[in-house]
Amino acid sequence: MKKCVTCLEIKHLADFYKRKDSLDGLRNDCKCCRKARSVQNYFVKHEQNKEAKKKQYLRRLKENPNYNAELYMRNRDKSLAISKEYYNKNKEKVKAKVKEWARNNHGKALSYSKMYKTKKIQRTPTWLTENDMFLISEAYELAALRTQMFGFSWHVDHIIPLRGKTVSGLHVPWNLQVIPGTENMRKSNRYLV
């Protein structure tokens, strides 16, 4: 049995946290008092901690302009898993947010769409024949047909991405594949060998 210095109650030893540097190996305040003080300190110091973390973040960003990209790459798998889990639990909410963003940022959304279409046109060689153009249009028709038949989205994917980081492909029939939309979004603009 031990007396808590905060609430002055006598409690069992199991009600005290361990502390190596004290004589009996336990803290002087009980677990309940310790938790109450931690909660109180959290709310009192929350704004101070928030400000300190912001300053630390800005300092790191100033020292290394690529800090965000490096942090993301270190935690990429974890971030993707968290994002995927959130998306699966909140599909309708995420889709609504994306639509809302596009509605509120019409200029940016249109810019991104036009930029992609322009890149696709730039990556379409002039030496393609009519048969090649027909095969490209057939791939898009197949994707639309599969979407209608199976009830989930199918995309026309570029095997070698048009805007890849390591390699960029062309918008030609032999660089296209029709795959489920989720697979295409997971692949993003990476080239999977």
Say whether pLDDT at 105 is over 90. no
Is the residue at 17 inside a domain?
yes
Select from 16, 36, 53 the last residue of a domain.
53
Is the residue at 155 inside a domain?
yes
Q: What is the pLDDT of residue 149?
A: 92
Question: What is the C-alpha separation between 154 and 146, in angstroms, rounded?
Answer: 6
Q: What is the pLDDT of residue 55?
A: 93
Q: What is the pLDDT of residue 94?
A: 92
Q: What is the pLDDT of residue 100?
A: 93
Q: Is 158 helix (H, G, I), strand (E, B) or coil?
A: strand
pTM: 0.46
Question: What is the C-alpha separation between 90 and 77, in angstroms, rounded?
Answer: 20
Question: What is the C-alpha separation between 71 and 121, in angstroms, rounded?
Answer: 34
Is the residue at 67 inside a domain?
no
Based on the structure, what is the number of domains in the chain?
2
43: CB partners within 8 A, 6+ apart:
none
Is the residue at 93 inside a domain?
no
CA distances from 162 to 15, 57, 120, 153 (A): 63, 34, 7, 21
Is the residue at 95 inside a domain?
no
pLDDT tens for each residue of 14-52: 989 998 888 889 988 999 999 988 888 877 788 888 888
Query: Which of 143, 138, 161 is CA-nearest to residue 153?
Result: 143
Q: What is the pLDDT of residue 107?
A: 85
* Boundaries of domain holding 32: 2-53
Say whether pLDDT at 106 is over 90. no
**Beta bridge pairs of residue 11:** 2
Q: What is the pLDDT of residue 41?
A: 81
Select from 53, 69, 86 the last residue of a domain.
53
Say whether pLDDT at 59 is over 90. yes
